[in-house]
Structure 1
Amino acid sequence: MGGIYEGVQACVTNHLHREILHISCGAHNSNLAVEYACNCSVEYINLFMLLQELYNYFTLSIKRCHVLREALDKSPYGLNIKSLSNTGWTANYESIHAVIESYDGIIYCFQLIEEGEQFDKESKLQGKNLRNKFISYEVIVLLKFMKNITRTTNSLTAHLQAKQLNILSSMELITNTLKLIEMMRNDDQSLKNILLLGEKHIEPYDVDIDKEFNRLRRIDPKPATVVQLTRESFYLKLFREIFDHLYKTYSGFLNVLNEKLQWFVNVLHSRIENLTLNECQHMCELIPKLTSPPLLFKELQLLSDQIKECDNMNGMAKLLQECGHLYPKVSSIYNYILTLPNTTATNERSFSKMKIIKNYLRAKLTNDKLEYLLLCSV
């Protein structure tokens, strides 16, 4: 899409003989940030592999799945386990949330399978191995930590897909999320509380936490390179790795937005006083049918008092409905900003549905019928 030589952006730019802004999907970038952060260390990779292994174990057998459903139905907080997905933007959060809420019920299911006569030897052995992996202080701690992290990122992704959100407001949203991530990273007490909650949660299972930690963390035998970390220091360091990766990725995306939209930032109600003629000139180069930067600058100055009274871009839209015909150039600027897409999630879902509906078995599906089926599914 954004290829500078043969991408859609380059083709449209060459065809129209003017610069075309290409802004990648905000929700997709948020999902990629989480995906990259979860691959920052072996511990997180192992955690998500365990979650997928857990999902496969119960869903590949009707008997095992039935045992799990019965156990979770009896629990007031039980949630059915979810599969992980590379494309599902809420998959990580839903999977972690379900497992942490149903942790005791899942352990109980392993016990039922191990004692049940209707299960074969292989199922019992797999269940026993999974149970041993699952009853772990590290697993509990990382699940609780990742639940907090993915709740934050999932909230950002959901807000970025809101229909009422415009591109400038999405930049403010990402900025606020970065502040929240930085605050969470530097909150030592909250991070230590996660470790304490993990100790409390694993206590009924008689796990020797220090012994497990020493077994998993092999100490470098070389005196020159050895790094002695306590259990608390190790996990705090592990937590901050996620925060650092998220902060770096979100900051990179925000910098790209700032670079592409640098000429439009000062048309916000809170920054209209900082607008310059040079910015108006660049806006005229980007937006078609705007040929006079001085006139645009003058219109914005005349309307600045009313712009300041608007709380957000939605307020600006209402203002333009009332007096946009008197300020056509200002109206063009704000219409351009309000119509810049900050996510392509809806479009991508339509193509995904089309791929499911019109498969190789339905190659002769007519366009009219395909349209009706897409409307039903989307």
Structure 2
Amino acid sequence: MSGKFKGVKTRILNDNPHAYFSPCGAHSLNLCGVHAMEVSTEVKSYFGNVQKLYKTFSMSPSRWKILQTTTGVSLHSVSTTRWSARVDAIRPLTKRYQDIIHALVSISDETNLPPETQADVDALITWMNSFEFVLFTKIWYKTLKVIDERNKVLQNSKITVKDSAKIMEGLISDIATIRSSWDKFLEESKSIASTFLISPEFKPTRGRKKKTFFDDSEVPDHSFNVTDRFKVEVFLPSIDLLSLEIKSITEKMKELSDVFTPIISPTENTLQLNQLYVDGVAEDLVNGYPRDLTKDELANELTIYFKLLKDGVINSGEGNLNCAVDILNNIYQKGLEHILPQICTCLRLLAVIPVSVSGERAFSKMSLIKNRLRSAMGEDRLNHLMILSIEHDIVRKISFDEVIEDFARLKYGFNCSFHTNEEQPVRLICKEVLAAESMKPSKLQRHLNTKHATLLKKPIEYFERLLQTSNKEKNTLEKYVTLNDKYLLAVSYLIAKTKKPFTTGEQLLLPAAIRMSEIVHGNQC
């Protein structure tokens, strides 16, 4: 994905050098764990044995029943793509250690096992009765539990880039604590091993003997003992690589977050309106998005934006998880989008930057929706079904009956109107308003057949375009024709200035205005 030469990141940057690479927090954590596991053969062997333990029971219903009866828990597979699943695989080993060994002994004694399976069961029993197993389980359960807790938070769709960076920093601190707790892990593992009558010592390994010649001087032996060798060659490399890769991800997230921090979380110094600081913020944003932003206009808007924040006109989100969208909605609710168009652009850019697995979930939905039964589905239908599936929380609040009625009316070229207290169908072509009883699809179709027979074969997209045009005309008319108190006061002032009765406006001016409107726009305006 983020390969230096042929990855998707590199290919996108070749087409658009100004694109930002936003690492997926949850997926990146999975990759960090996979890389940390591949450092030493001992770690790979440990997780390989955990997977072998799962397969030994899951490949036979009778063995799985013995496991369920003996332990009361289920074992889980070690997943490569879902690193957090390894916590579920190790958790039963910490909670039901003796019961799992009893289950292995039971299937070894009571069932007729094939030779290969019998060898695997004997090897697993020997492995689980070793001090290395106890120590590995203690270390990795603690490490994976810390990662899993952060991983679940990062999968929230409302997490921002800044929040992800803070979560990663907390994870780095926890990993550093685990690294410095070697002596504690060793003592606790020895205590657990003694409780289960396991020798609290590492298996002795055969040391490498260096060949010497008669003229070589004596060199002191700097080889480690078994415990120190495990710490230096197995424990520290895995934890250090895990910490190093998490730091790399955190730096990328902080770099991306710092670009938008002045807009999302301005400090007290920011609100002092230092022009040099404002120009610097504008320059950083323009350098990142030169096609979307202009430096001078953005600097002027930032000055206005900081003033509005300082006066409390705009709510800065106050640390909400989705504050970019909150601020953008606040600006639109107060009608400031025409004053701060560049700020709105910055907030939209930040809101669409993926932080976690939201983008990947779209591909997961695609594989679920376009299956072998829908192999001939077109692109438009696939896009619409994916949107409905992804935004299912919003779809559940929509009344399907109203959607069907709106579709049926639009199919025959009608739209709803509230000229009176009840709904009335309005013809999109001739603007004719029918009676409320004509809302039935059969009557709407009869009206189309009798008065507009030439439009029978028109697709629904034609009427959708008419509806969009009608809505635009309506919004434009309301924008320029709607009267407010200022206009009414001006009319009243003119009447009073001519010393005419105040009823002149109601008796003469208002009917005249209505008549002029009917002549220009028709009787149905």
TM-score range, shorter chain: 0.7 to 0.9
Change (3 A) 1:181 1:300: farther
Alignment partner, residue 47 of structure 1 = 46
The answer on whether the counterparts of 2:51 and 2:77 sit within 8 Å (CA) in structure 1 is: yes
How far the C-alpha of 1:135 sits from its partner, in A, is 1.2
Which residue of the other structure, out of 154, 173, 198, is the alignment partner of 2:167?
A: 173
The answer on whether the counterparts of 2:63 and 2:107 sit within 8 Å (CA) in structure 1 is: yes
Alignment: residue pair count: 362
1:209-220 equivalences under 5 Å are: 209-210=200-201, 213-215=202-204, 217-220=205-208
Which residue of the other structure, out of 354, 366, 379, is the alignment partner of 1:341?
A: 354
1:15-164 equivalences under 5 Å are: 19-73=18-72, 79-119=73-113, 123-164=117-158
Alignment partner, residue 297 of structure 1 = 302
Alignment partner, residue 365 of structure 1 = 375
Change (3 A) 1:111 1:92: same
How far the C-alpha of 1:60 sits from its partner, in A, is 1.6
Alpha-carbon distance in 2 for matches of 1:63, 1:372:
46
> Which is helix-richer, 1 or 2?
1
Alpha-carbon displacement from aligned partner over 1:56-104 (angstroms, at most 9, x marks no partner): 211122222221121122xxxxx31111121123221111113222221
How far the C-alpha of 1:158 sits from its partner, in A, is 1.6
The range that moved more, 129-138 or 254-263, is: 254-263
Alpha-carbon displacement from aligned partner over 1:132-161 (angstroms, at most 9, x marks no partner): 112111111111110111111112222211
Alpha-carbon distance in 2 for matches of 1:107, 1:214:
20
How far the C-alpha of 1:314 sits from its partner, in A, is 3.8
Which residue of the other structure, out of 318, 329, 336, is the alignment partner of 1:321?
A: 329
Question: Which of 1 and 2 has greater Rg?
Answer: 2
The answer on whether the counterparts of 1:107 and 1:131 sit within 8 Å (CA) in structure 2 is: yes
The answer on whether the counterparts of 1:89 and 1:157 sit within 8 Å (CA) in structure 2 is: no
The answer on whether the counterparts of 1:265 and 1:271 sit within 8 Å (CA) in structure 2 is: no
Secondary structure of 1:366 counterpart = coil
Alpha-carbon distance in 2 for matches of 1:228, 1:285:
53
Alpha-carbon distance in 1 for matches of 2:325, 2:370:
39
Alignment partner, residue 265 of structure 1 = 261
Alignment partner, residue 311 of structure 1 = 319
**Structure 1 residues not aligned, in runs of 5+:** 74-78
2:342 alignment partner AA: K
The answer on whether the counterparts of 1:23 and 1:257 sit within 8 Å (CA) in structure 2 is: yes
The range that moved more, 217-226 or 111-120, is: 217-226
Alignment partner, residue 199 of structure 1 = 190
The answer on whether the counterparts of 2:87 and 2:144 sit within 8 Å (CA) in structure 1 is: yes
Change (3 A) 1:67 1:156: same
Alpha-carbon distance in 2 for matches of 1:309, 1:43:
49
Alpha-carbon distance in 1 for matches of 2:224, 2:13:
57
The answer on whether the counterparts of 1:81 and 1:95 sit within 8 Å (CA) in structure 2 is: yes
How far the C-alpha of 1:355 sits from its partner, in A, is 4.4
The range that moved more, 137-146 or 120-129, is: 120-129
1:26 alignment partner AA: G
Change (3 A) 1:9 1:125: closer
The answer on whether the counterparts of 2:193 and 2:199 sit within 8 Å (CA) in structure 1 is: no
Q: CA RMSD in A?
A: 3.5
Alpha-carbon displacement from aligned partner over 1:273-332 (angstroms, at most 9, x marks no partner): 355412312313444543223213313431453577823454564444334542443333
1:63 alignment partner AA: S
**Structure 2 residues not aligned, in runs of 5+:** 211-218, 271-276, 393-525
The answer on whether the counterparts of 2:179 and 2:239 sit within 8 Å (CA) in structure 1 is: yes
Change (3 A) 1:320 1:150: same
Higher relative contact order (CA 8 A, sep 6+): 1
How far the C-alpha of 1:183 sits from its partner, in A, is 3.0
TM-score by length of 2: 0.60
2:282 alignment partner AA: C
